[in-house]
Amino acid sequence: MTEGYVPCNETRCKRLSERSLTRQALLEARQASVRSFCVTLHKGGADYLKYMYGPAAFAVPDDVRKLPLKIADIFRKLTI
């Protein structure tokens, strides 16, 4: 039984560290008025991308065949 602590093995720590570094870089870019948006086909991406990009700055298309439409929609939103 634990109190919510998950032991940190080398792979998990490296992954958490990389995500934290990416998040920090994205925050610094945002402070410099650089807008970023992430598109991934990784089905589990929403879990960690919310942490890195925020709730509205990423997309995880449910069907790769919809990707061209999704990218066009994202581009429209970013350029308005």
Residue located via tokens 């581009």: 75
Q: What angle do CA 40, 47, 44 make, to 5 degrees?
A: 50
Q: Where are the domains of the chain?
A: 10-79
pLDDT tens digit at each of 80 positions of the chain: 333 444 555 565 656 677 888 888 899 999 999 888 888 888 888 888 888 888 888 888 888 888 888 888 888 877 77
pTM: 0.65
